[in-house]
Amino acid sequence: MNIKVVVVGKIKEKYFTAAIKEYEKRLSRFCKFSLVEVRDEKAPESLSSAEMEQVMEKEGDRILAKVSDREFVFALAIKGKELTSEAFAAQIKDLTTYGHSDLTFIIGGSLGLAPAVLQRADFSLSFGKFTLPHQLMRVVLCEQIYRAFMINSNSPYHK
Ligand SMILES: C[S@@+](CC[C@H](N)C(=O)[O-])C[C@H]1O[C@@H](n2cnc3c(N)ncnc32)[C@H](O)[C@@H]1O
């Protein structure tokens, strides 16, 4: 199975990079994992709402250029659907059982995801009502994907 995480911008903090590397290593037992970074737009505090929409649209176009039709797409969105780790694991299992071998997760930039990205998504996934920084969101998502594989292999990792 191929798991791709599409994100906006580069990670600056070494501790986030180290955490992602660790999960990449752990996930290599279960899937071909890739992290695709697209360029972010500058988003100073002074932007009008129209300018903010433009930022999200430009970032959205770059995101969608990395997604092909065959991919099953999860958009990470605060207003999406909340799942338990067990339900998420079951969804991954079901998707693979029914022939989806390319799962793609999209994390927005500092302003969030453009409507076009949310429309392309097959599933909008929420990690709760808190706003997480997009860089930390990568780490949390990777851990939950790893946890899902551990749940599906009946590992005691998940308690
Ligand atoms: C800093 S947040 C963007 C905040 C923006 N106001 C919004 O509502 O999307 C950056 C990205 O991280 C992801 N994210 C942050 N918190 C999340 C949560 N609780 N659930 C799902 N995704 C989240 C989303 O993909 C979001 O686009």
Percent of the chain predicted with pLDDT > 90: 92
For residue 141, say whether it is annotated as part of any ligand binding site. no
Return the number of other C-beta atoms located less than 10 Å from residue 106's C-beta. Answer: 27
Full-prediction pTM beyond 0.90? yes
Domain annotation for the chain: domains and CATH numbers: 2-152 (3.40.1280.10)
CB 30 within 8 A of CB 96: no
Ligand 1 atom closest to Cα of residue 129: 19
Give yes or no for residue 158 having a pLDDT over 90: no
Ligand 1 center–CA 93 separation, angstroms = 25
Residue to probe by mutation, ligand 1, list 63, 76, 130, 140, most atoms within 8 Å of CB:
76
Measured distance CA(159)–CA(57) in Å, rounded: 40
Query: Model confidence over 18-41: pLDDT tens digits?
Result: 999 999 999 999 999 999 999 999
Each residue's pLDDT tens digit, 43-97? 888 899 999 999 999 999 999 999 999 999 999 999 999 999 999 999 999 999 9
Mean pLDDT of 125-142: 97
The complex's ipTM? Answer: 0.97
